[in-house]
Structure 1
Amino acid sequence: MTRQRYNRYEKARILGARALQVSYGAPVLIESEQSEPILIAAEEYDAGVLPFTVRREGN
């Protein structure tokens, strides 16, 4: 499966939403030494394990 490319606004929304989930106690999906939720979310994003999809409306 090809990994989808996100623009910077989509990436910011995904990372923010995931960081919020982690800060509220959601399980972390990777092994990480980080303690800040936004850094954990960034590592998960880079690893490609985030369970998010982005719906784009047609032009």
Structure 2
Amino acid sequence: MTRGKSTTQLVRIPDEFTKYERARILGSRALQIAMGAPSMLKLTPEQLEAMNYSSLEIAKQELGAGLIPIVVKRPLPPKHSVHGAHTPEQEKQ
């Protein structure tokens, strides 16, 4: 009998956000930008004008470039959970 022995199960984390996670991330980041948070992208005035100064478009560009630091916690069956960090390589696939 061994005490304190823990069993670890490997769980495959999907390589991309779900549409709900993506919507939540983009909405939150767009709100931050609209409230005056600095953009993580270096955009020229011409690029901003082409995007119509849209905070949502800026947030999409940031997410596509992998510049938004985010960790998504996905619930699993009882007593299990998965924490997955998103990387720029995953968004490009």
* 3-state DSSP of counterpart to 2:21: helix
What amino acid is aligned across from residue 43 of structure 1 in structure 2?
Answer: Q
Quote the offset at 1:18 in angstroms: 0.1
In structure 2, runs of 5+ residues without a counterpart are 1-14, 78-93
Normalized per residue, the structure richer in helix is 1
Rg larger in structure: 2
Q: CA RMSD in A?
A: 1.1
The residue that corresponds to 1:55 in the other structure is 73
Larger strand percent: 2
Residue 15 (str. 1) matches residue 26 (str. 2): yes
1:11-48: CA deviation from partner (whole Å, max 9, x where unpaired): 00000000000000001001232311000000000000
Gaps of 5+ in 1: none
The Cα shift of 1:57 comes to 1.1
Structure 1 moving runs of 4+ over 4 Å: none
Per the alignment, in what secondary structure is the counterpart of residue 55 of structure 1?
Answer: strand
Percentage identity across aligned positions?
Answer: 39
TM-score after normalising by structure 2? 0.56
